[in-house]
Amino acid sequence: MGNPRQTVPMPDVAAEPALTKVAHGRPSSGNPVAVLPENEIPTEVVLQARRKSGDKPNPRSASALSRKGARRQTLTRKALSCRGFPYRWGGSRLKSGVDCSGFTRYLYLKLGIQLPHSARLQFSKGTPVAVLEMMPGDLVFFNTKGPLTHVGMYIGDGRFVHASNPKRGINIDRLASRYYKPRFAGARRYTS
């Protein structure tokens, strides 16, 4: 699968306009394949820009970024390994079935973070995240059967993994899908 990209917020892209044209972790020449949000510009590109501008990277902040990135990668890998497990309303055990908030609670317990078993309460406990600032591991919330009745975990590229329903179990969907896009209520972060 290769090494996942580690990302950090970009301090000032106005000074380096070419850095906004990034496709799959490398500055593009000519037409970019994709334009990434500032917070998804790979660490190596940010550090290269800082070296050119004379800023010295802080080794302590680099190791903190590395730890945060590792936690997000762990969370994402764990979530993807759960695909295919069953859905059960009110369930909290992966093998016998989990509901949406039980699934996200299960994932975060692996990091030692205790979340309530309720989409609405998980929404109220997290730190709000703008759509363009979402990172893998952030939780995404939806108004499906009422306000804040569904939750999943963002995994990048506009996709999220969630305990969907009894027919589909734990699977991946797109935020921009016809069903989820109009029902999107926001994103929350629980790791710094």
Residue of 24, 82, 117, 162 marked active site = 162
The candidate with the shortest Cα–Cα distance to 171, out of 184, 188, 159, is 159
Active site residue 150: yes
Tokens encoding 131: 């759509």
Cβ-contact 150, 141 below 8 angstroms: yes
Angle, to 10 degrees, between the axis of helix 43-53 and the axis of helix 59-81?
170
CA distance 129 to 126: 9
What is the pairing mode between strands 170-174 and 97-98? unpaired
How many other CB atoms are there within 10 angstroms of residue 135's CB atom? 20
Residue of 24, 82, 117, 150 marked active site = 150
Which residues participate in catalysis according to the annotation?
100, 150, 162
